[in-house]
Amino acid sequence: MIEEKIIIALQQTLKELYAVEIACDKSILQKTRKEFEGDFTIVIFQYAKPAKKSPEIVAQEIGDQLLEKISEIKSYNIVKGFLNLLLHDHYWLHFFTQEKNNIHFGITSKKESSPFLIEFSSPNTNKPLHLGHIRNNVLGSSIAAIEEACGKRVIKVNLVNDRGIHICKSMLAWQRFGNGETPETSGLKGDHLVGKYYVLFDQHYKADIKNLIASGMTEEEAAKKAPIMLDVQEMLRKWEQNDEAVRALWVMMNRWVYDGFEETYQRMGISFDKIYHESEVYLFGKQLVEKGLKAGVFYQKKDHSIWADLTDEGMDEKLLLRGDGTSVYITQDMGTAEARYQEFLPEKMVYVVGNEQIYHFNVLKFILEYKLKLEAGKAIFHLSYGMVELPSGKMKSREGTVVDADDLMEEMFVQAKQSTEQLGKTDFEGEEAKKLNEMIGLGALKYFILKVDPKKNMMFNPEESIDLNGNTAPFIQYTHARIRSLLRKADAEQIDLSVSVSDSFIPEQNEKELIKMLYDYPQTVLNAGENYSPALIANYIFDLAKEFNRFYQESPIMKETELQKKNFRLQLSQFVATVIKNAMQLLGIGVPERM
């Protein structure tokens, strides 16, 4: 890479000219702004003081030395304290010739190292997946693909929260009000059916609270003593005591949910290497709590509940086990983290969980790393992401105002179908049309979510996401289809794209801009991996597609009469299509051959 060559030469030059040894890395090189001539820019101000000269003089002296040391540099220019380096055209042409047929361009070879473990999805078995889960799933799946492209051995895991008070709420409501209803008799997906009873529980709970308040209780007292809440707490105790009837009901309803989840995951294009269930690991968490109590790092209250005192660390006291012996969220998280670490010995355990859980993961990491002195704590990294809303506002599961993932995916399919019909794309029929509309609809949904920095809250607008002229997946997908159409025409004309242009060939400026953008792709992938940000790739692809379309409008391709120039433009188009396809795959999005 030319960047490394420039950095090494710069370090040598600083030492030779000014007797200064400064550690340099790629951050000292910037892309030259478009309004100036150049490919790479070095900010000189930081070297002026040790050189005891003005930035302009230092820039000239360094520029002269780099010009002498590096044959790829054609010229340089100075704008105040900025040294702009311009590379020879043959450097870009050589890169293009070397990489244009590399179908693995941008992919780093697998490294021999500890695995990179990433947890995402983590649904509860009391409701179907919703819009928030879509952001979680597409974000986690994309990051896994990006990290793999960066050479890491990735393990994708899912922790299904299949036990606890929230699960018992759906179970109790179905037991009381379900009249034996099943997915088969209701015509509902299993996860949707169970979610229906979760909402029903909340309605009855609120009615109980209202009645108790009317009888003279405070709202706080009523919330604790509502009969249906006391009953669901008793059900949880029976579950933890392996009550046969409660366990049988739990197994049946969870199976309904798993079948529903699997259908949703398949449509979303999500898969996992291993699925954990909270019911399988929460006891391990209990053992860690007991171990910490014996070691004196946790303490027990009079009601027998066990706590961690984190007040000296700027956090609160944290409940680890209830007085009746039942566990809480952090109990199973402790057990899961340690179990995973022992099983895989990962370099990092990344949790893709919303930013409302930042405090929870700070506590989890601190307890494992500093209280229990476990290596698992050091490996934990919480990748928090912002909330996603619809124009209609926030969503609440227990109030039944959540937008189900299944409904939203179907809506996107319908919108894609309507969009293609409005554009006159009626030459697709049957299964082919269905596949195209599914690719466009789900692509629009995923891209709209992934193009936003994970840390930011966002609003998902279905209509805006499908716009063929905006920063959307359909725009990028159409660009790929346009290139594939060009290549089919070239094939029909029997143009041999394996023939390279001569060394004396000089690309035009817009062609060179495209080559330079393609050159940036591998580093973009590495940056996305380092920052856990698919948004970097999403916006790169959009910029590349925009640049190609500008080139396509400005430069005739199939009508070009000069054969070498025509051939080069077709090869350049093919290279762009390869990068678009590969980059979109890292986002979990397909691109059509025609559209």
What's the CA gap between 15 and 334, in Å, rounded? 52
What's the CA gap between 181 and 187, in Å, rounded? 10
Q: Which of 113, 570, 533 is nearest to 345 (CA)?
A: 113
| C-alpha to C-alpha distances, 172 to 124, 236, 277, 322, nearest whole angstrom | 16, 10, 21, 21
Residue 183 CB partners (closer than 8 Å, separation 6+): 189, 190, 193, 256, 259, 260
What's the CA gap between 474 and 590, in Å, rounded? 10
Grouping H, G, I as helix, E, B as strand and the rest as coil, residue 118 is strand
Q: How would you list the strands of the sheet with 299-300, edge to edge?
A: 299-300, 306-309, 317-321
How many beta carbons lie within 10 A of that of residue 15, not counting itself? 12
What's the CA gap between 484 and 490, in Å, rounded? 10
The superfamily (CATH) of domain 2-87 is Arginyl tRNA synthetase N-terminal domain (3.30.1360.70)
Q: Which of 315, 318, 337 is nearest to 327 (CA)?
A: 318
**Lookup result for tokens 């979760």:** 198
* 262, amino acid identity: E
* 349, amino acid identity: M
What's the CA gap between 149 and 105, in Å, rounded? 10
pLDDT of residue 399: 44
CATH class of this structure's domain 411-586? mainly alpha
* In the chain, domain spans: 2-87, 120-389, 411-586
Contact 487, 494 (CB under 8 A): no
Q: Which of 167, 170, 166 is nearest to 178 (CA)?
A: 170
pLDDT of residue 65: 96
The DSSP 8-state label assigned to residue 188 in this structure reads: -
What's the CA gap between 344 and 376, in Å, rounded? 11
Q: What is the DSSP string of 124-185?
A: BTTS--BHHHHHHHHHHHHHHHHHHHTT--EEEEEEEB--SHHHHHHHHHHHHH-TT--HHH
Residue 280 CB partners (closer than 8 Å, separation 6+): none
**Lookup result for tokens 């034996």:** 180
Contact 315, 371 (CB under 8 A): no
* pTM attached to this predicted model: 0.91
pLDDT of residue 426: 57
Would you mind telling me the total number of residues written for the chain in this entry?
595
**Lookup result for tokens 């929260």:** 161
For residue 25, give both structure tokens: 């890395």
What's the CA gap between 90 and 198, in Å, rounded? 66
**Lookup result for tokens 């009508």:** 559
Low-confidence ranges of the chain (pLDDT < 70): 392-402, 424-427
pLDDT of residue 20: 83
What's the CA gap between 222 and 150, in Å, rounded? 54
The DSSP 8-state label assigned to residue 355 in this structure reads: G
The superfamily (CATH) of domain 120-389 is HUPs (3.40.50.620)
Contact 548, 511 (CB under 8 A): no
Contact 129, 405 (CB under 8 A): yes
pLDDT of residue 396: 44
pLDDT of residue 201: 97
Rg (CA), the chain: 29
For residue 365, give both structure tokens: 């990491």
For residue 391, give both structure tokens: 């124009």
Q: Which of 470, 550, 490 is nearest to 517 (CA)?
A: 550
What's the CA gap between 530 and 422, in Å, rounded? 41
Using DSSP bridges, classify how beta strands 82-87 and 40-43 pair: parallel, antiparallel or unpaired: antiparallel
For 346: left if phi > 0, alpha if psi spans -120 to 50, otherwise beta; the answer is beta
What's the CA gap between 246 and 171, in Å, rounded? 9
Grouping H, G, I as helix, E, B as strand and the rest as coil, residue 390 is strand
Using DSSP bridges, classify how beta strands 29-31 and 458-459 pair: parallel, antiparallel or unpaired: unpaired
| C-alpha to C-alpha distances, 458 to 527, 534, 535, 580, nearest whole angstrom | 22, 15, 13, 25
Burial call 67-94: b when 16+ CB within 10 Å, e when fewer: eebbeebeebebbebbbbbbbeebbbbe
* 403, amino acid identity: V
| C-alpha to C-alpha distances, 145 to 4, 151, 180, 371, 455, nearest whole angstrom | 26, 10, 43, 34, 19
Residue 336 CB partners (closer than 8 Å, separation 6+): 159, 276, 278, 281, 284, 285
